[in-house]
Amino acid sequence: MRDALVAAAFRLFLERGYEQTTVDDIVALAGVGRRSFFRYFPSKEDVVFPDHERCLADMTAFLAASGGEHEPVRRVCDAARLVLLMYAENPSFSVQRYRLTKKVPGLRAYELSVVWRYERALAEYLRGRFHDRPGGDLQADVIAAAVVAAHNNALRSWLRSDGQGDASATVDHALAYVQSAFGAPLATPAPTARPAFPALPSSPAAPGEEPQEDVVVVVSRRGAPLWRVVQEIETAFGRD
């Protein structure tokens, strides 16, 4: 019945327009009563985005199931991919909805509030993981926003292509940019290591010294854009 209501709603939205379609029209076409509609959907907006609540719940559960072994930035990128999977499950429906949302300001506002809830879910998780970092809340909010923006940039580009092309590859590429900016520290923590500058390549530990870990040396011209340097560090760290 839920699927029948969504199908009826979209048929009418496309035929008559969103604003011109009432809940009564939808239930009449689906052959059910108004109460059935409101059992599934609190409002007409909600029938346009029938799967976001489930996806938000999935994302929250996914993040709650994370452990200390998961690198936090990578983990929120993986959480964002759940949204992509929802869209990619049904490309033609997603493309129809994208076109509809672009035309109806009320739906655009609804979508912004949904996006905000995803972003808060990611930020809350990161705040927990960063709670002992100075400025951890700030970093959590910024990284969550960057992940959502990258995901949505890729998602919109896929939707604009009418759902053609490889959605996953597009999103992976976008999220890799965020990871290159905010990094993904490897499992070995180095809580007090602050790289000296200028510094020399590491040498074997002298007796009585702590053994040195591998070092990475990046040489760049001063004028090189920072993102290129970061990309290079990523490659060096094997973080692709």
State the number of binding residues for a copy of itself (CB under 8 A). 70
215 scored as a contact of a copy of itself (CB under 8 A)? yes
Q: Which of 189, 204, 207, 208 binds a copy of itself (CB under 8 A)?
A: 189
Nearer to a copy of itself, 65 or 189 (CB): 189
| DSSP per residue, 149-186 | HHHHHHHHHHHHTTT-S-HHHHHHHHHHHHHHHH----
Task: Compute the least distance from the CB of residue 129 to a copy of itself, in Å.
Answer: 12
Write each residue from 110 to 149 as x if it is in contact with a copy of itself (CB under 8 A), else as -, in one continuous string: --xx--x------------------x-xxx-xx-xxx-xx
Interface pick for a copy of itself out of 69, 92, 197, 209 (rule CB under 8 A): 197
Angle between helices 72-89 and 91-103 (to 10 degrees): 90
Q: Residue 226, interface with a copy of itself (CB under 8 A)?
A: yes
Cα angle 214, 215, 221; round to 5: 160
Task: Look up tokens 């999977």; give the residue.
Answer: 85
Place of tokens 């076109």: 99
Which 43-82 residues touch a copy of itself, going by CB under 8 A? none
| Nearer to a copy of itself (CB atom), residue 30 or residue 155 | 155
Instruction: Please calculate the CA angle 103-50-16 and round it to the nearest 5 degrees.
Output: 40
Q: Using the rule CB under 8 A, which residue among 35, 188, 203, 207 binds a copy of itself?
A: 188
For 231, phi then psi, to 5°, come to -55, -40
Amino acid at 128: G
When the beta carbons of 65 and 226 are compared against a copy of itself, the nearer one is 226
Smallest distance from a copy of itself to CB 183, Å: 2
Sign of the dihedral through C-alpha 131, 132, 136, 137? positive
Q: Using CB under 8 A, which of 31, 202, 205, 240 touches a copy of itself?
A: 202
Q: Side chain identity at 66, as an amino acid letter?
A: S
What is the contact mask toward a copy of itself in residues 142 to 181, using x (rule: CB under 8 A)?
x-xxx-xxx-xxx------------------xx--xx--x
CA distance 216 to 173: 24
Helix (H, G, I), strand (E, B) or coil at 225: coil
Check binding of 223 to a copy of itself (CB under 8 A): yes
Rounded to whole angstroms, the Cα distance separating 30 from 11 reads 10
Q: Which residues bind a copy of itself (CB under 8 A)?
A: 108-109, 112-113, 116, 135, 137-139, 141-142, 144-146, 148-150, 152-154, 173-174, 177-178, 181-190, 193-202, 212-230, 232-237, 239
